[in-house]
Structure 1
Amino acid sequence: MTHPASAPVPLSGPRFHTEPLELYRRIRREHGAVAPVLLDGDVPAWLVLGYRELHQVTSDPVLFSRDSDLWNQWDAIPADWPLLPMIGRKQPSILYTVGERHRERAGVVSGALEAVDPFVLRQLAERYADELIDALCGKGACDLIAEYAMLLPVRVLAALYGFADEQGPGLVTAMNDMINGGAGALDGQRHLAESMGALLAAKAARPGDDVASRMLGNTAGFTVEEVAQDLMVMMAAGHQPTADWIGNSLRLMLTDDRFAASLSGGRHSVGEAMNEVLWEDTPTQNVAGRWASRDTHLGGRRIEQGDLLLLGLAAANADPHVRADAGAFTGGNNAHLSFGHGEHRCPFPAQEVAETIARTGIEVLLDRLPDVDLAVPEDSLTRRPSPWLRGLTALPVTYTPTPALGGLS
């Protein structure tokens, strides 16, 4: 089936963060499983909305390459294009490495994360979650995004990397400054890069039982700069989506009666809420991207060599061709594409780390603040204006003030 020529959809506007699933359904009805879209500056691309089509793209890294040098639009991209940090050229990180070199590099990352002791990971997550709640529990009200979800993942990841405990708060600030953009973004990026360089120098001289030392000790011949780039990518990719996973799951549990029991001290529904979020409200909505290495066809569309394809993870998860009811609760079904698919997907050990941090963060919060309640009407909650990552700008809550634990657990 081919689709007639149709006007491209601007990948911007409030509907991407107010009602994205309804918007994706409309785009699918009007354009099919692969839709023409426009990025900032009217740069053309394809958005892959179909589950099967996205599976096809991510399963064929030769035809649909991760090599951004293939892009046929580079001559039209200005030096100050706002999406360059996301869709860059000749970037040295694992994100843009292809072929055997990518497989080797991904193996080093996966091996370093897989060696993390799950009990140590859980203890670290509990420790920092308790520390954060100690600062909140006596107030009786807080914003769970700014004061909790956006602070927890980096602290845990920094400890796993091998950073000293006292460096954690500075790394949290740097990472969030980078995410928020503006005047502090470059300073945040500089602090993170300098801190990573100092960490690797220290671990090269005195290795430890940590992710940085394990990556430095690999035998695949990667440079210190490559290791530093991959560690920074892993921290960025692990922090914001995990923070949004925490925030989106807590929003669901605070606003949906099905999860009311969990808010009174039970834990049995936490995993269900987290899984439903990955289907219905996934933190990573769209991913850039893949580039066609030759002319081809996909979802009834003619894709030309060098065309950019965006992975519509949220849209694919709601594809009615693979889900009888795209709005239904999916229970224990883990066939979502929220972590991607294929050899460039989020490494499985990284998924496990993110899930442990998010689940522990939610469980500790519910244990410590069992009567937490939303402080504003549900329909007043707002999302960041982004088609890429879906997360709340704030989640204000109230609860009965309680004493701090008096120290780290």
Structure 2
Amino acid sequence: MTPDAVPLGGPRFQTEPARLYREMRRDHGAVTPIVLDGDVPAWLVVGYRELHQVTGDPVLFSRDSDLWNQWDMIPDDWPLLPMIGRKQPSILYTVGERHRERAGMISDALEAVDPFELRGHAERFADELIDGLCTSGEADLIGQYAMLLPVRVLARLYGFSDEEGPGLVTALNDMIDGRERAIAGQMHLATSMAQLLADRKANPAHDVVSRMLQNTSGFTDEEISQDLMVMMAAGHQPTADWIGNSLRLMLTDDRFAASLFGGRNSVAEAMNEVLWEDTPSQNIAGRWASRDTQLGGRRIRAGDLLILGLQGANSDPQVRIDASALTGGNNAHFSFGHGEHRCPFPAQEVAEVVARTGIEVVLDRLPDIDLAVPAGSLTRRPSPWLRGLSELPVRFTPVPAL
């Protein structure tokens, strides 16, 4: 690894990521040498074409973490082990035909979700959350709303009861915080998922878990449980950040002001612009080179780790579309990944319905909503991986609950 490798961390990922990605391309090119926590070397792929190549070739750039040439240097307490683990049984680290079968099982289970039922669940939980804050005249739309909505909807689709929803919200958010409560949150989620699988084996229903259990490809309960937990975690935080980042854009950019007074087309436009300019999933680990190769003018060694720079690739000037087209429905961004390991299309649809419904309910119920602080004072969570607001303080005229 080159001596001028860029640390994948620090405040600039929070305060000025766009400038940071531009500097990486200027100083290092489309494939930037980086160091992870503990000075662990890796590559960050910030070129659009290069990222397309990496994600489109699962043989050369494998999802098999056993290939990593740095395992001898990784301590047992390395903070990124939950993200870059070894021998993990979830779909994230399976490859080849088995991965395609597992992805098919997930896609089939989600594709069978009734879109009207999905929107109904999203509206009901969103209204419930707004009822809890609408009489006060002020709220934090991250902690009191966005971080509470997606997992409630996903839990209902899985087959959990409404009474179990709040506990799952707490568990998921504790896992995301990564503090001392993270292990307890993970245990609660795993225990709840195992119990739901046992219940649905005994009494199948019309839900995602029952449909996955009916799959005939011979998956174990552990595999199904792991995939369900991955789906819930991957669906919750990015969707919550999609809601928060879109609301921030609509509340701070005059182009979207009409949406705050009953417009709806601009909601979809703001959501699409966020996926290009402010995507929740900024950088994703990872791929491992299965042999020595060349990428973006760099010599990649067998076993090297490549981090997928989704936001960096989205802003690559070599393929950048005209900014005026971003809100016109162009979805050639990398926000949901690409290739056989991308986010399954039915999962993308679920996330979009939940996010759009969540935003629309806010605008319907709180029509004169406005930021309670200067736009420049809004802060982001300090993470190079997921980009979301720490809080979104707003004020509005108090209204009665429904």
- Give the TM-score of the pair, scaled to structure 2: 0.99
Which residue of 1 is the match for residue 229 of structure 2? 232
* Contact 1:316 1:337 survives alignment (8 Å): yes
| Residue from 390, 398, 401 that aligns with 1:401 | 398
| Residue from 75, 79, 95 that aligns with 1:78 | 75
Which residue of 1 is the match for residue 307 of structure 2? 310
| Residue from 14, 29, 33 that aligns with 1:17 | 14
Give, in angstroms, the shift of residue 268 of structure 1. Answer: 1.8
* Contact 2:370 2:396 survives alignment (8 Å): yes
- For residues 241-260 of structure 1, the aligned pairs below 5 Å read 241-260=238-257
Pair 1:324–1:121, CA change in 2 (3 A):
closer
* Contact 2:292 2:300 survives alignment (8 Å): yes
Give, in angstroms, the shift of residue 6 of structure 1. Answer: 5.6
Which residue of 1 is the match for residue 151 of structure 2? 154
* Contact 1:161 1:212 survives alignment (8 Å): yes
Identity %: 78
| Residue from 292, 300, 303 that aligns with 2:297 | 300
Which residue of 1 is the match for residue 111 of structure 2? 114
The answer to whether the aligner puts 1:348 opposite 2:332 as a matched pair is no
Q: Aligned partners of 1:300 and 1:326: how far apart in 2?
A: 28
Pair 1:264–1:330, CA change in 2 (3 A):
closer
Give, in angstroms, the shift of residue 17 of structure 1. Answer: 1.2
Give, in angstroms, the shift of residue 329 of structure 1. Answer: 4.1
Which residue of 1 is the match for residue 217 of structure 2? 220
Paired letter, 2:243:
I
Give, in angstroms, the shift of residue 331 of structure 1. Answer: 2.6
Q: Aligned partners of 2:2 and 2:34: how far apart in 1?
A: 12
| Residue from 208, 233, 251 that aligns with 1:211 | 208
* Contact 1:109 1:215 survives alignment (8 Å): yes
Q: Aligned partners of 1:64 and 1:327: how far apart in 2?
A: 34
The C-alpha deviation readout for 1:196-221, integer Å capped at 9, x for no partner, is 00000000000000000000110110
User: 3-state DSSP class of the match of 1:201?
Assistant: helix
Give, in angstroms, the shift of residue 308 of structure 1. Answer: 0.2
Paired letter, 1:268:
N
Structure 1 stretches lacking a partner, 5+ long:
none
Which residue of 2 is the match for residue 52 of structure 1? 49
The answer to whether the aligner puts 1:176 opposite 2:173 as a matched pair is yes
The C-alpha deviation readout for 1:334-386, integer Å capped at 9, x for no partner, is 11010000000000000000000000000011000010100000010000000
The answer to whether the aligner puts 1:32 opposite 2:29 as a matched pair is yes
Pair 1:186–1:6, CA change in 2 (3 A):
closer
User: 3-state DSSP class of the match of 1:213?
Assistant: helix
- For residues 272-283 of structure 1, the aligned pairs below 5 Å read 272-283=269-280
* Contact 2:152 2:166 survives alignment (8 Å): yes
- For residues 82-93 of structure 1, the aligned pairs below 5 Å read 82-93=79-90
Q: Aligned partners of 2:101 and 2:325: how far apart in 1?
A: 39
The answer to whether the aligner puts 1:68 opposite 2:62 as a matched pair is no
* Contact 1:140 1:399 survives alignment (8 Å): yes
User: 3-state DSSP class of the match of 1:393?
Assistant: coil
Paired letter, 1:88:
G
Q: Aligned partners of 2:243 and 2:264: how far apart in 1?
A: 14
The C-alpha deviation readout for 1:165-187, integer Å capped at 9, x for no partner, is 10000000111011112121111
Q: Aligned partners of 2:249 and 2:3: how far apart in 1?
A: 36
Paired letter, 1:99:
G
* Contact 1:17 1:385 survives alignment (8 Å): yes
| Residue from 356, 360, 363 that aligns with 2:357 | 360
Q: Aligned partners of 1:5 and 1:77: how far apart in 2?
A: 19
Paired letter, 2:291:
R
Which residue of 2 is the match for residue 42 of structure 1? 39
Give, in angstroms, the shift of residue 302 of structure 1. Answer: 0.3
Give, in angstroms, the shift of residue 309 of structure 1. Answer: 0.3
Paired letter, 2:73:
A
User: 3-state DSSP class of the match of 1:269?
Assistant: helix
Q: Aligned partners of 1:335 and 1:27: how far apart in 2?
A: 22
User: 3-state DSSP class of the match of 1:44?
Assistant: strand
Q: Aligned partners of 2:356 and 2:384: how far apart in 1?
A: 25
Count of aligned pairs between the two proteins: 402
Q: Aligned partners of 1:332 and 1:60: how far apart in 2?
A: 27
- Give the TM-score of the pair, scaled to structure 1: 0.97
Q: Aligned partners of 2:2 and 2:182: how far apart in 1?
A: 40
> Could you say what the CA RMSD is over the residues aligned between the two structures, in angstroms?
1.2
